[in-house]
Amino acid sequence: MSTLGIVKRNITRADPVAVEKLGRFGVATLHEAMGRLGLMKPYLRPVYRGARLCGTAVTVLLQPGDNWMMHVAAEQIQPGDVVVAACTTENEDGFFGDLLATSFQARGARGLVIDGGVRDVDELERMGFPVFSKAIHAKGTIKATLGSVNVTVVCAGAIVHPGDVVVADVDGVVVVPAAQAQAVADAAEKRESFEGEKRAKLASGVLGLDMYKMREPLAAAGLKYID
């Protein structure tokens, strides 16, 4: 009945071409392109300025104070993957540090998104291994209880299936279901193509009120100007 104690080896990763294309866009744009869905909660923050990642999810379900499954996950990493770690309860211990980062990086991982804590932040920055976490915490963890690898998890409020695309930058973390990767990338591209023109208009002093034709609906809604 439980999804604990399981490692799924064969997962269907999103198409690499679509993943690369998704990596060209910011998280805010991708979230809009998905119809304003797919975001993790904003308490996940990059552990160093400039961190940014895009890749296919290898998921981990951790137990509180225990990072055993991180080592199990390492073996499942393929180049281009991002590890997404959830926990069976709220816990901010330092599940991850420079040794695991070295191992993940050696396997080709592009970063980590974790609904928990990490440590060795200076080393992570030096290594160029991007991490988005709930906390920075030196607290060490044990290796005693089974969780799972590559099961569906909820990480910071978002559902992540193994193989989904995860993109993270300073604005947040977004999950794109593997099957929608190409369509979302295309929608993002279209969306962004409109932005340059809008930006230029706004920069020239045109108001959004006029550019988006808002004056009429605002008046219809009852907006009153007073002096």
Per CB under 8 A, which of residues 110..169 are in contact with a copy of itself?
A: 117, 119-122, 135-140, 142-146, 152, 154, 157-159, 169
Of 60, 174, 175, 178, the one binding a copy of itself (CB under 8 A) is: 174
Count of residues that bind a copy of itself according to CB under 8 A: 101
Query: Which residues partner with 198 through β-bridges?
Result: none
Of 42, 78, 126, 128, the one binding a copy of itself (CB under 8 A) is: 42
3-state secondary structure of 96: coil
Of 4, 23, 24, 192, the one binding a copy of itself (CB under 8 A) is: 4
How far is residue 111's CA from residue 84's CA, in Å, rounded to a whole number?
9
The answer to whether residue 219 forms part of the interface with a copy of itself (CB under 8 A) is no
Of 14, 18, 92, 129, the one binding a copy of itself (CB under 8 A) is: 92
Q: Tokens 């816990």 appear where?
A: 91
End-to-end CA distance of the chain: 66
- How many C-beta atoms lie closer than 10 Å to residue 25's C-beta? 23
How far is residue 165's CA from residue 57's CA, in Å, rounded to a whole number?
6
* 55 versus 172: smaller Cβ distance to a copy of itself: 172
The answer to whether residue 24 forms part of the interface with a copy of itself (CB under 8 A) is no
Residue 19, both tokens: 């993943």
How far is residue 48's CA from residue 76's CA, in Å, rounded to a whole number?
26
**H/E run at residue 114:** strand 112-118
Closest contact distance (angstroms) between CB of 227 and a copy of itself is 5
Closest contact distance (angstroms) between CB of 212 and a copy of itself is 7
The answer to whether residue 65 forms part of the interface with a copy of itself (CB under 8 A) is yes
**H/E run at residue 105:** helix 98-107
How far is residue 217's CA from residue 169's CA, in Å, rounded to a whole number?
35
The answer to whether residue 203 forms part of the interface with a copy of itself (CB under 8 A) is yes
The answer to whether residue 209 forms part of the interface with a copy of itself (CB under 8 A) is yes
Interacting positions 180-199 with a copy of itself (CB under 8 A) = 180, 183-184, 187, 195, 198-199
